[in-house]
Amino acid sequence: MAQRKSYPSDGTVEQFEQIQPLLEGVRKRTKPRRVDLHEVFSAVLYLLKSGCQWRMLPEGFPNWVTVYSYFAKWSAPDQDRVSALERALKIGYG
């Protein structure tokens, strides 16, 4: 797979490794993941930074439907009313 263009919103691999277990813990494992979670998270960061529409995600990111699905799961508040996305941004990107 060709490497996509990099964007100012991209985090580092090291930053992502800090939050990866948190993000992986949100998804219920029903079948093997077929998408690179780092790329999904990078797409979410791009959306948050740019404010673009979901369907206007640049080429190279995973499909917008996939990104939106993860975003919805990561944005759901837990029992403490804090989402995994909020926690991830504070830990790795704060």
43-69 residue pLDDT tens = 999 999 999 999 999 999 999 999 999
Give a yes or no: residue 2 inside a domain: no
Residue 82 lies in a domain: yes
Quote the pTM value: 0.90
Domain count, the chain: 1
The stretches of 1-94 forming alpha helices (DSSP H) are 13-24, 37-50, 64-75, 84-93
Burial of 16 by CB count in 10 Å (0-12 exposed, 13-18 middle, 19+ buried)?
Answer: buried
Whether 93 and 15 have beta carbons less than 8 Å apart is answered as yes
- Percentage with pLDDT > 70 across the chain: 97
Q: What is the mean pLDDT of residues 77-81?
A: 94
Q: Give me the domain span that covers residue 58.
A: 36-93
Residue 19 lies in a domain: no
Establish if 14 belongs to a structural domain. no
Structural domain contains residue 8: no
Given a cut of 90, is residue 94 above it in pLDDT? no
**How far, in Å, CA of 59 to CA of 31, rounded?**
26
Q: Is the pLDDT of residue 19 over 60?
A: yes
On whether residue 76 sits in a domain, the answer given is: yes
**Distance between CA atoms of 90 and 1, rounded to whole angstroms?**
31
Residue 52 lies in a domain: yes
